[in-house]
Structure 1
Amino acid sequence: MYDAVLFDNDGVLVKPPKLALLREAAISAFEEFGVDPADEHLNEVMHSATPDGFRRVCEAYGFDPETFWKARDSAASESQLREIRAGRTTTYEDIATLSEFDRPLGLVSSNQQATVEFMLDYFELGRHFETYYGRPPTVEGIRRKKPNPHFLELALADLGVEDALFVGDSESDVVAAHNAGVDSAFIRRPHRTDYDLSVSPTYEIEGLPEILDIMN
């Protein structure tokens, strides 16, 4: 059952960054442009930015979109790397399960490509994955992140499979899997205890070992 398994990263393999950290990074990006942002504009770019929301922010302050997004993404990536180096961001305890899969694995994250690459190297996870994708620090990268299936489809093509399972911790992951024509497993980690889905995943699990049961 399933020719491959694809994983989201943050909230699935590695514990997600704290929102306060992302907020501070977004504020620093605005400060680079000499702006004290309104809360509504700060919220538009600090986490899960959408193309429409980002466009509204740039129009409100007259920002060049590519220049501002690069500043925002750099600040967010650097803050996450500091947390990892300091030991405040860690992997989940069941991460060793990755060694037990007998089918190709891939990773598709909406985090920055540079951040994903650092995490895979720092936590020595790269050896498990035949392909991985993060988001480039560009406005086009915002448009192509999940729930857009773009990077999922690239990973599937890299692995040469069509029948795969995508494991994620958000509604956008479930929708991205649906858009890519693959099944989804929503993993309800502790930070998702009260998280409500308006879409139905193929499976709902609490830990990585359950995926092995699904595969068998």
Structure 2
Amino acid sequence: MTDRYESVVFDCDGVLVEPTDTAVLVDAVVDAFDAFGVDVDRSVARRSVTEDIVPAETARDHGIDPEAFWHYRELTASLAQQAHVRDRGKPVYDDVAALDGIGCPLGLVSNNQHATIEFLLAYHDLPAFEVAHGRRPTLAGAAARKPEPDYVETALAELGAENALYVGDSEKDVVAAQRAGIDAAYLRRDHAADVTLTTEPTFEVPDLEALVERIPATERRV
């Protein structure tokens, strides 16, 4: 771990707010196909969500332009999550308040849609992040999501940070950080308690309060 982090960048779902119920996203995929006149099997929709697959081939098989479908699917998924949040889904974790103890600039990089991230930041009045990136609603935007480092590297460039820490709750987060050349903190919340990682993060913590304690004191507000 470096003596000093110039910035700390966070994942969102499972780190700042609870993950989205799988059923909400499966419904969004089904609704998106329905909008194109396709009655897709729910098992296909579920697999695309649980395995984080862009169903481009399924779209092509039904004569749908994959780019047009994906853009609509992303809009549908974002609006579904926003409605879910308004219905008290995806609450903020209590320990998010601990981020006030971090003195360096904060960033946010998520595999969720950028529109969803913007909504969550505003709706929940989350801590101030100098930069925040979700995935763009295009096939290229989907291809650049974690474990690819693209969005993390973009955030680091905007923050002007080289020595940084990325905090996430999945192996994709750890790999993205490593590919971006920065430290990775694995947040082992209850939903990740039994996950076995095949790549080693810089360190693990059980919650955000423990994370703040691991960050060098020179980087924390007093």
* Shorter-chain TM-score above 0.5: yes
**Cα shift readout 1:91-127 (whole Å, capped 9, x = no counterpart):** 00101011111111100011111110010011112x5
The structural deviation recorded for 1:3 is 1.3
Q: In the alignment, is the contact (CA less than 8 A) between 1:12 and 1:187 conserved in 2?
A: yes
Q: Secondary structure at the match of 1:198?
A: coil
- Equivalent residues in 2 for 1:76-115 (5 A)? 76-115=77-116
Specify which of 34, 45, 48 is matched with residue 48 of structure 2.
45
Specify which of 9, 13, 16 is matched with residue 10 of structure 1.
13
Runs of 5+ consecutive residues of structure 2 not aligned to the other structure: 217-222
Runs of 5+ consecutive residues of structure 1 not aligned to the other structure: none
AA of the residue aligned to 2:78: S
**Cα shift readout 1:135-160 (whole Å, capped 9, x = no counterpart):** 11111111111111111001101111
CA 1:130–1:48: 2 relative to 1, 3 Å = farther
Q: Using the alignment, how far apart are the partners of 1:46 and 1:76 within structure 2?
A: 11
Q: In the alignment, is the contact (CA less than 8 A) between 2:99 and 2:212 conserved in 1?
A: no
Q: In the alignment, is the contact (CA less than 8 A) between 1:58 and 1:64 conserved in 2?
A: yes
AA of the residue aligned to 2:162: E
Q: In the alignment, is the contact (CA less than 8 A) between 1:44 and 1:54 conserved in 2?
A: no
The structural deviation recorded for 1:48 is 5.3
Q: Secondary structure at the match of 1:110?
A: strand
Consecutive aligned runs of 4 or more in structure 1 exceeding 4 Å deviation: none
The structural deviation recorded for 1:183 is 0.8
Q: Secondary structure at the match of 1:132?
A: strand
What TM-score, normalized by structure 2, do the two folds share?
A: 0.90
Number of equivalent positions = 213
**Cα shift readout 1:19-76 (whole Å, capped 9, x = no counterpart):** 11111111111111222224563245335534xx533223322220111112211111
Q: Secondary structure at the match of 1:142?
A: helix
CA 1:47–1:137: 2 relative to 1, 3 Å = farther
Q: Using the alignment, how far apart are the partners of 1:108 and 1:157 within structure 2?
A: 13
Q: Secondary structure at the match of 1:128?
A: coil
CA 1:48–1:9: 2 relative to 1, 3 Å = farther
- Equivalent residues in 2 for 1:144-163 (5 A)? 144-163=144-163
The structural deviation recorded for 1:211 is 1.6
Q: What is the Cα-based RMSD across aligned positions, in Å?
A: 1.5
Q: Secondary structure at the match of 2:121?
A: helix
Q: Using the alignment, how far apart are the partners of 2:198 and 2:66 within structure 1?
A: 31
Q: In the alignment, is the contact (CA less than 8 A) between 2:8 and 2:105 conserved in 1?
A: yes
What TM-score, normalized by structure 1, do the two folds share?
A: 0.93
